[in-house]
Amino acid sequence: MQPFANKRFDQVVSRYSALHWDDVDKSLRKLHRIIQPNSRLIIKVLVSPDDLVGYKQGALRDTFHVRDYTPDD
């Protein structure tokens, strides 16, 4: 069973959760599944010029912190 029905939402907002996504492509596919066509998907992430520094700091605070994003991401 899926937690949300297909095309259930007309807007989805993700604020800082992408730092916890093991598989970015899989997560985006799931979001695409639940959002209606021609709707809005907003994903907010922090970026760090040096992803190793950000990752180390995040991992110390939060053991579920998977990665940080660089400006190139």
User: Are 68 and 47 a contacting pair, CB within 8 Å?
Assistant: yes
**The model's pTM:** 0.71
pLDDT higher than threshold 80 for residue 1: no
What's the pLDDT tens digit per position in 8-62?
Answer: 999 999 998 888 888 999 999 999 999 999 999 999 987 766 655 555 566 566 6
Residue whose C-alpha is closest to residue 44's, from 7, 14, 3: 14
Residue 69 has pLDDT above 80, yes or no: no
Q: What is the pLDDT of residue 23?
A: 92
Report how far residue 4's alpha carbon sits from residue 53's, in angstroms, rounded to the nearest whole number.
36
pLDDT score recorded for residue 52: 59
* Every domain of the chain and the residues it spans: 9-61
